[in-house]
Amino acid sequence: MPDTSVSTPPVPLLHLEGLTRRFKGRVAVDGLTLSVRPGEILGLLGPNGAGKSTTFQILAGLLAPDSGQVRFAGRELSLSDPALRRQMGIIFQRGSLDDLLTARENLMLGARLYGLTGERARERVESMLALIGLADRGDERVGTWSGGMRRRLELARALVHQPRVVLMDEPTQGLDEAAFRTFWAHLKRLRDAEGITVLLTTHRADEAEVCDRLAVLDAGRLVACDTPAALASRMGGDILTVEAADPETLAREVREKLGVDAKVVEGKVQVEARQGHALVPRLVEAFPAGRLSSVSLRRPTLADVFLQLTGRALGADVPAAEPAPRKRR
């Protein structure tokens, strides 16, 4: 018999459909439709004001949308559905550990809040401490801990009750490079060990690079959703960056003399070029010695992709959204 089976895509664990939220008539989240697949780490990427935290708060049950809905494993997620909420772990942007408690006590408190008791709670606390590499520090009060250790403990606490999905709002904000790398190594290890699905918000390009997929938000709207590699491949080639005392004038002259699209980004002249290495000698020859302070060539990052998609730098704030048009009476 011929094989008539058809492969169906996995049912999304979380599905947002037309989510919209306004504040005093201004749109913060604008018709957001998005699916999170089981087992993936999906990043909501956008600058300050893009609508990431508003989306997070709706998912965390802290805010009701004006319209649209969220489905969790096929069921509509309401603000007051404790059974579904128990399947979620949440890490807020501002840490919520108790400084006066030890690491072990913080985890036990998290376990108890979700109804775990006795040996089961103790087992989960110990296994979480081991998974974040802090088993030997469990009896220390966390008030004196570094930001990186605290974030790892928050991660363990969000997972102690064995949720299926973990929501994280800017989980590595303020962490230095080393603490950021350690946090992510533990996150990926926990994801594999616990089989969780992760939805996080970020405005860090380095964090975006390590997500499985990215939903790029700008002014409350979804502008792209794909893997970091697929998004980066949308860029034409290399990024050539030129520093000079007069970037605006230089950008105009580069356009005129070399016929390439040069623009000023954060005070530097930037050119996207397929054959960046061939452009460097042309550029250096076209301008007299001393005019260019530095010339560098690199592969595009997700910050460049964001700029191309939105015309805005990832580090810039999104201007307050336009007020929603008034309805005709």
Ligand X SMILES: Nc1ncnc2c1ncn2[C@@H]1O[C@H](COP(=O)(O)OP(=O)(O)OP(=O)(O)O)[C@@H](O)[C@H]1O
The footprint of ligand X (CB under 6 A) covers 23, 28, 46, 48-54, 203, 320-321
Nearby residues of 308 by Cβ (< 8 Å), 6 or more positions away:
234, 235, 272
Query: CB of residue 51 vs ligand X: minimum separation in angstroms?
Result: 4
| Range list of β-strands (E), 92-204 | 165-169, 197-202
d(CA 146, CA 150): 6
Would you say 23 or 281 has its CB closer to ligand X? 23
> DSSP state, 1?
-
Pairing assessment for the beta strands 165-169 and 197-202 based on DSSP bridges: parallel
Q: State the minimum distance, in angstroms, from the CB of residue 204 to ligand X.
A: 11
Query: Tokens at residue 18, please?
Result: 């037309």
DSSP state at residue 88: E
Q: How far is the CB of 315 from ligand X (least distance, A)?
A: 11
Nearer to ligand X, 26 or 189 (CB): 26
- In angstroms, what is the minimal distance from the CB of 156 to ligand X? 24
3-state secondary structure of 222: strand
Q: What's the min distance (Å) between Cβ of 215 and ligand X?
A: 12
Give the contacts of 20 (CB within 8 A, at least 6 positions apart).
Answer: 27, 29, 30, 31, 32, 65, 66, 67, 68
Name which of 58 and 165 has its Cβ closer to ligand X.
58
Q: How far is the CB of 56 from ligand X (least distance, A)?
A: 7
Taking the least distance from each CB to ligand X, the nearer of 92 and 145 is 92
How many whole angstroms separate alpha carbon 216 and alpha carbon 222? Answer: 6
Nearer Cβ to ligand X, position 129 or 321?
Answer: 321
Is residue 20 within a helix (H) or strand (E), and if so which, with residue range? strand 14-23
Q: Which is nearer to ligand X, 28 or 269 (CB)?
A: 28
